[in-house]
Chain A
Amino acid sequence: MSVQSPTLGRCGRVYIVFRREFRSYFATPLAAVFLVIFLFLAGLFTFNIGSLYERGQADLRPFFQFVPWLFLLILPAISMRLWAEERRTGTIELLVTLPFALSDLVLGKFFAAWAFAVVAILLTIPFWFTLAWLGDPDHGALCTGYLATILLAGFMLSIGALISAWTKNQVIAFVLSVAVSFIILLLGYPAALDVVRAFAPSGVIESLASTSALTHFDALMRGVVDLRDVLYFVLGMAVFLWLNTAVIDWKKSD
């Protein structure tokens, strides 16, 4: 009889949770369907609706402008099952009683969801090649655009993961994640802010806009890497993941 199983370090534990979760996306045809829909919509909006060719500019602005709204509907579909499913099937009890810390589980699952989103984002790299072939794009700006897209995906997924931890029902997790993400994006959308501007002082508008992911996303997308914008996303994710751990701990007993 063995006395004790081997010791795993923090990274090892997070990696094992990550690997199981990441593979689970590909266990069903869902992943393929998801990727196809994402690429189709991204292509449609970039080339047709965003009229990439007609604009005569070698940049991916239409893609980057559209991607937050595409994420709004598509990322909650990735994050909704993270915890809701685990709680519904009871496997959460197994996970928690294996030699993992709660934060290992939260990080492993979050990174798996994020990695899947990054796969989807990287599949749009041919758009970049198209630009490079047709014209002479600003590669630096494209790099920051992709960095912004990846950060925004992580940010929105961390919100979705937190909401998924709250409920056993995936559909509720999806709907709530869409709603919350929508509000967070809308706070940085000029047309929405104009409505508020009618009766609120400009200081309020400024601070509302600065809490929105969209404001920081736009700043990065323009090709200016301001550390504050990057920090906004990184700190946001850290806060939501910390809350995620707290919610899992709190909700275990139901």
Chain B
Amino acid sequence: MAKVTVHTSSTASEELLIATGLEKRFGTTYAVRGIDLRVRAGEVLGFLGPNGAGKSTSMRMITGYLEPTAGAISLCGINLLTHPIEAKRTFGYLPEGAPAYPEMTVEEFLAFVAAARGYVGKEARDRVESVIDRVHLQGMRRKSFETLSKGYKRRTGLAQALMHDPRILILDEPTDGLDPNQKHEVRALITELGRDRAVVLSTHILEEVEAVCTRAIVINQGSVVFDGTPSEMESKAPAHVTKHRMDHVFRMMTTGEGITSNARGGKSGMGGKR
């Protein structure tokens, strides 16, 4: 097998995740058509779009779950398609719905992930302890996963993704189903983690984008329709809109509604940067 070089030192501006020309076709329908993503260390990228726009499919390709029909993916400089195992060591991933084995306890599950990440003995135990602390799962460690509330399930999923302290974090709807306090807590954690890491998160909640993301990408029908900062996105809303400006822009971009009262389909006017 070819030697894989890993960048051991980095500056904050290093591009850790590069995906180019990403395409996924299921049969004859395109779920994703031609998405480019570049995420630097220190960036928290919000991945937005209506249900079925291709968010989860894109994340599944970036994490090596689904093979793209076309395109290239590089994680910390490692080509995911030619060196999948090495590339999968560079990121932590919270899949949609935060799945885990129902009959395992939180502790057992995290120990399994630590082992899968190659840790043994004391280091494995230390890592499990440290992620349990980090997401505040102390009280739940001996409970089996199926008995946990939604919030604790999501935290277990986050803990698992943080096991190897990865440079890239990919989180599919990390705050879905959490109560406002838990949302606040998870957002604070993401902001903290995002300082020196590349974070990609998908969400439906636009206020979350304003709260934690340094950049937002909106995809619709498999293509990128906006790529910029959250404030740039907000500024696309017409001046007369004063409330929920992000939601307004989101609707404009993904349905073509509300640009002016009679200009449905005026998508070209706001097609964004790409």
As a 0/1 sequence over residues 1 to 27 of chain A, the CB contacts with chain B under 8 angstroms (1 = contact) are 111111110001100100110001001
Say yes or no for B113: interface residue by CB 8 A criterion: yes
Residue in A3, A16, A252 whose CB lies within 8 Å of B116: A16
**Interface pair B164/A2, CB less than 8 Å apart:** yes
Residue in A12, A27, A90, A96 whose CB lies within 8 Å of B103: A27
Q: List B47-93 residues whose CB lies under 8 Å from chain A.
A: 60, 63-67, 76, 84-86, 88-90, 93
> Which residues does chain B contribute within 8 Å of A13, judged by CB atoms?
116
**Interface pair A90/B116, CB less than 8 Å apart:** no
> Which residues does chain B contribute within 8 Å of A253, judged by CB atoms?
26, 66
Say yes or no for A100: interface residue by CB 8 A criterion: yes
Q: What distance in Å separates the Cβ of B195 from its nearest Cβ neighbour in chain A? A: 10
Known pairs A2-B165, A3-B167, A99-B89; A16 contacts B112 (CB<8 A): yes
As a 0/1 sequence over residues 6 to 39 of chain B, the CB contacts with chain A under 8 angstroms (1 = contact) are 1110000000000000000010000000000000
As a 0/1 sequence over residues 90 to 118 of chain B, the CB contacts with chain A under 8 angstroms (1 = contact) are 10010111011111100000001101111
**Interface pair A5/B101, CB less than 8 Å apart:** no
Say yes or no for A94: interface residue by CB 8 A criterion: yes
**Interface pair A1/B64, CB less than 8 Å apart:** no
Say yes or no for A91: interface residue by CB 8 A criterion: yes
**Interface pair B167/A100, CB less than 8 Å apart:** no
Tell me, in angstroms, the Cα distance from A5 to B97 when the chains sit together: 25
Q: List B164-220 residues whose CB lies under 8 Å from chain A.
A: 164-167, 196-197
Residue in B6, B7, B100, B115 whose CB lies within 8 Å of A16: B115
> Which residues does chain A contribute within 8 Å of B100, judged by CB atoms?
89, 91, 94
Closest residue on chain A to residue B102 by CB atoms: A89
Tell me, in angstroms, the Cα distance from A133 to B84 when the chains sit together: 56
**Interface pair B113/A90, CB less than 8 Å apart:** no
Question: Do most interface residues of chain A lie in helix, strand or loop, or is the interface mixed?
Answer: loop
> Which residues does chain B contribute within 8 Å of A24, judged by CB atoms?
101, 103-104
**Interface pair B165/A90, CB less than 8 Å apart:** no
Q: What distance in Å separates the Cβ of A167 from its nearest Cβ neighbour in chain B? A: 18
Say yes or no for A204: interface residue by CB 8 A criterion: no
Number of B interface residues, CB 8 Å? Answer: 42
Say yes or no for A194: interface residue by CB 8 A criterion: no
**Interface pair B99/A98, CB less than 8 Å apart:** no
Tell me, in angstroms, the Cα distance from A7 to B99 when the chains sit together: 24
Tell me, in angstroms, the Cα distance from A96 to B80 when the chains sit together: 13
Tell me, in angstroms, the Cα distance from A62 to B118 when the chains sit together: 47
Tell me, in angstroms, the Cα distance from A5 to B87 when the chains sit together: 11
Say yes or no for B223: interface residue by CB 8 A criterion: no
> Which residues does chain A contribute within 8 Å of B88, judged by CB atoms?
97-100
> Which residues does chain B contribute within 8 Å of A12, judged by CB atoms?
118
Say yes or no for A183: interface residue by CB 8 A criterion: no
> Which residues does chain A contribute within 8 Å of B254, judged by CB atoms?
none
Candidate in B95, B119, B163 with the most chain A CB atoms within 10 angstroms = B95
> Which residues does chain B contribute within 8 Å of A99, judged by CB atoms?
85-86, 88-89, 116-118
Say yes or no for A101: interface residue by CB 8 A criterion: yes
> Which residues does chain B contribute within 8 Å of A19, judged by CB atoms?
115
> Which residues does chain A contribute within 8 Å of B196, judged by CB atoms?
1
Residue in B6, B63, B99, B101 whose CB lies within 8 Å of A3: B6
> Which residues does chain B contribute within 8 Å of A4, judged by CB atoms?
6, 76, 89-90, 164
Closest residue on chain A to residue B60 by CB atoms: A93
Tell me, in angstroms, the Cα distance from A171 to B88 when the chains sit together: 33
Tell me, in angstroms, the Cα distance from A91 to B113 when the chains sit together: 12
Closest residue on chain B to residue A12 by CB atoms: B118
Closest residue on chain A to residue B101 by CB atoms: A91
Q: A3-B76, A6-B119 are in contact. List 4 more A-B contacts (CB 8 A).
A: A16-B112, A16-B115, A97-B64, A253-B26
Chain A positions within 8 Å of B, measured between CB atoms, are 1-8, 12-13, 16, 19-20, 24, 27-28, 89-91, 93-94, 96-101, 249, 252-253
Sample of 27 A–B contacts (CB below 8 Å): A1-B197, A2-B165, A2-B166, A4-B89, A4-B90, A5-B118, A5-B119, A7-B118, A16-B116, A19-B115, A20-B112, A24-B104, A27-B104, A28-B103, A89-B99, A90-B97, A90-B99, A91-B100, A93-B96, A94-B95, A97-B64, A97-B65, A97-B93, A249-B67, A252-B66, A253-B26, A253-B66
